[in-house]
A and B are shown apart, each in its own frame.
Chain A
């Protein structure tokens, strides 16, 4: 079974530029999460999708971040415009159902550096 795929793996941009990340969860997984992990911190949830609907985006900085999962499969996360403090690893994770008690499977992450 293929794992969670993410691209790109690394991205360097200048502040005020825009950037987009892509995630393809494990096949058949209904719930998809985007996390932001700043160096030395634990992952922080940005947005949770169940199929193509948003379950929780309370911690997503909506003035600059957006995310979509149009067909309930893969997802994109966009930052526009980027700030220095957005430098982090962006992790995508998925679970088969909708219950938080299920094991989350993480992708390899996208490392973003904003200069």
Chain B
């Protein structure tokens, strides 16, 4: 079974700080990497996707991918209380459907 590992948290950061969320994966054939945000009682919504090694920035969010280390991360700058949610890392299963991690719970305190 191909694995996607995340620290379940909760990760607590003060408002305005940088939140760093990490994910490792086991399938070296994976090509597509996604970060979804899930508020309590809601369905997942896409935050970022990344396909190439390096960094990809979108507003306050930066996704980082290192395929050699099988590691993908999400940085949230200037964290806001509204960013408090569970962040799911998802990795394609060698071109087939996505494997999701268990998610990291983020709490941004005012």
The reply to whether A43 and B100 form a contact with Cβ atoms under 8 Å apart is: yes
Query: Does B49 sit at the interface, judged by CB under 8 A?
Result: yes
CA distance A91 to B100 in the complex (A): 13
Among A40, A55, A107, the one with the most B-chain Cβ atoms within 10 Å of its Cβ is A40
Query: Does A45 sit at the interface, judged by CB under 8 A?
Result: yes
CA distance A99 to B92 in the complex (A): 10
- Count of chain B residues near A, Cβ 8 A: 25
The reply to whether A100 and B49 form a contact with Cβ atoms under 8 Å apart is: no
Query: Does B82 sit at the interface, judged by CB under 8 A?
Result: no
A100-B92, A101-B31, A101-B32 known; A45+B49 contact, CB < 8 A: no
- Count of chain A residues near B, Cβ 8 A: 21
- Min CB–CB distance B98 → chain A (angstroms): 7
Query: Does A14 sit at the interface, judged by CB under 8 A?
Result: no
The reply to whether A106 and B96 form a contact with Cβ atoms under 8 Å apart is: no
CA distance A26 to B99 in the complex (A): 22
- Per-residue CB contact flags for chain A residues 94-115 toward chain B (1 = under 8 Å, else 0) read 0000011101101111000000
**Residues of A contacting B: mostly:** loop
The reply to whether A104 and B88 form a contact with Cβ atoms under 8 Å apart is: no
Q: State the B residues within 8 Å of A (CB).
A: 4, 8, 31-32, 34, 42-46, 49, 51, 88, 90, 92-93, 95-103
Q: State the A residues within 8 Å of B (CB).
A: 33, 35, 40-45, 48, 55-56, 91, 99-101, 103-104, 106-109
List 18 A–B pairs whose Cβ atoms lie within 8 Å, in order of A's numbering.
A42-B90, A42-B100, A42-B102, A42-B103, A43-B44, A43-B100, A48-B96, A56-B96, A100-B92, A100-B93, A100-B96, A100-B97, A100-B98, A101-B49, A103-B34, A103-B49, A106-B45, A109-B43
